[in-house]
Amino acid sequence: MSMVLFDVPGPKARVRHKIMAVIGIAAALAGVAYVVMRFVATDQFTARRLDWINYKQIQLSLVEAIGNTLSAFAVGAVLALAFGAIFAAARLSDHAWVRTPAAVIVEIFRAIPLVIMMFFFYYGLPSAGIKLSAFTAVVVSLMLYNGSVLAEIFRAGINSLPKGQSEAAYALGMRKTQVMTFVLLPQALRAMMPTIISQLVVLLKDTALGFLITFEELLRWGTRIGGDAVNFGRPMISVMIVVALIYIGLCLLLTWFANYLEKRNRRNKKVIHTDGDAAGQVQLGNASTAVPGGVTV
């Protein structure tokens, strides 16, 4: 915890903290108890409303929905990483005619809401005679948006390396490509890895926007089963709790992986300690999971 704001507590303060802790626990429990009470009072957890779990058909469709979410995530992530790498390279180019258009494209795609992009590809393009499936529209939008953010992360990561690294490499007579691939990228990638992964968490969460353009992913499955008033009496609450737990579980798994990499990095002596924040700062630009310094919770 931050000790900036407080002195080390004395005996009086410790008693006060204990009293506040009791009040805090009581308030939290009261809040949870009220919600549970409402669940019970409105019969959210009756046998009929939980019955959907027992149907094999529904279980299979849940697996399929998770599969759709994950495949949109996987394809989107790969494409976004490729897009990010290409545009980061273009933005770091020595030629202004490559650098400037790349910068404009990246900035524009970072400024357009993902929803509008998905609408554009799914509802807009058919009027120009191009028909894309919901999956393609989701994946292409994820690629353009997250790819642009990743391009900025890559660029910031490479720029945050000490100048001496590239200067020394040039002094050894390496070419531009060699400097990039042998000296800068390996170091930058290590430093950026946690930030890149938390951007992938954002990408995973953003697949849920496919809900708005009728892409059959996890959330859409949830609203379909949850809205079934005929068979299960609208079990929206229980279904949404399950869906939320699945999303949180998947995201925490990725976050845990990012933290693991960060810890492993810290032990690795090869890592150059940069001012570090650069890549983390970029990422906040889309309300991602990162905070300055790439710390994730």
Partner 1 sequence: MSVLTNNLELFLRLFGQTLQLFAISAVLSLVLGTLLAALRVSPVPVFRGIGATYVTVLRNTPLTLVFVFFLFAYPLLEILRIEPYTAAVVALTLYTAAFVCEVVRSGINTVPVGQAEASRALGLTFTQMLGNVVLPQALRSVVPPMTSTMIALLKNTTVASGFAVPQAGSIRDALSEQGDNVLFGLIWVAIGFVVLVMPLTYVQQVFEKRWSVAR
User: Scanning residues 114 to 153, which ones bind partner 1 (CB under 8 A)?
Assistant: 114-117, 119-120, 123-125, 127-128
Which one of residues 162, 164, 186, 227 is an interface residue with partner 1 (CB under 8 A)?
227
- Residue 222 lies near partner 1 (rule: CB under 8 A): yes
**Minimum CB–partner distance for residue 280 and partner 1 (Å):** 9
Q: How far apart are CA 20 and CA 243, in angstroms?
A: 34
- Residue 287 lies near partner 1 (rule: CB under 8 A): yes
- Residue 201 lies near partner 1 (rule: CB under 8 A): yes
Q: Which amino acid is at 42?
A: T
Contact 45, 39 (CB under 8 A): yes
Contact 272, 165 (CB under 8 A): yes
Q: Identify which range of 1-9, 84-92, 94-102, 260-268 contacts partner 1 by CB under 8 A.
A: 1-9
**Minimum CB–partner distance for residue 192 and partner 1 (Å):** 18
Q: Which two three-digit tokens encode residue 206?
A: 């953003």
Which one of residues 66, 71, 234, 265 is an interface residue with partner 1 (CB under 8 A)?
234
Largest CA distance in the chain: 76
Q: How far apart are CA 183 and CA 270, in angstroms?
A: 12
Q: How far apart are CA 226 and CA 250, in angstroms?
A: 21
Comparing C-alpha atoms, which of 186, 128, 125 is closest to residue 157?
186
- Between residues 123 and 182, which has the closer beta carbon with respect to partner 1? 123
Q: How far apart are CA 38 and CA 44, in angstroms?
A: 8
Tell me which residues in 79-118 interact with partner 1 (CB under 8 A): 107-108, 111-117
CA distance from start to end of the chain:
14
- Between residues 186 and 292, which has the closer beta carbon with respect to partner 1? 292
- Residue 272 lies near partner 1 (rule: CB under 8 A): no
**Minimum CB–partner distance for residue 79 and partner 1 (Å):** 20
Where residue 292 falls (left for φ over 0; alpha for ψ -120 to 50; beta otherwise) is beta
Which one of residues 211, 215, 221, 232 is an interface residue with partner 1 (CB under 8 A)?
211
- Between residues 189 and 244, which has the closer beta carbon with respect to partner 1? 244
Which one of residues 30, 248, 271, 272 is an interface residue with partner 1 (CB under 8 A)?
248
Tell me which residues in 6-45 interact with partner 1 (CB under 8 A): 6-7, 9, 13, 17, 20-21, 24-25, 28, 35, 38-39, 41-42, 44
- Residue 171 lies near partner 1 (rule: CB under 8 A): no
- Between residues 168 and 295, which has the closer beta carbon with respect to partner 1? 295
Tell me which residues in 48-67 interact with partner 1 (CB under 8 A): none
DSSP string, 247-297: HHHHHHHHHHHHHHHHHHHHH-TT------HHHHHHHGGGT-S-BTTTB--
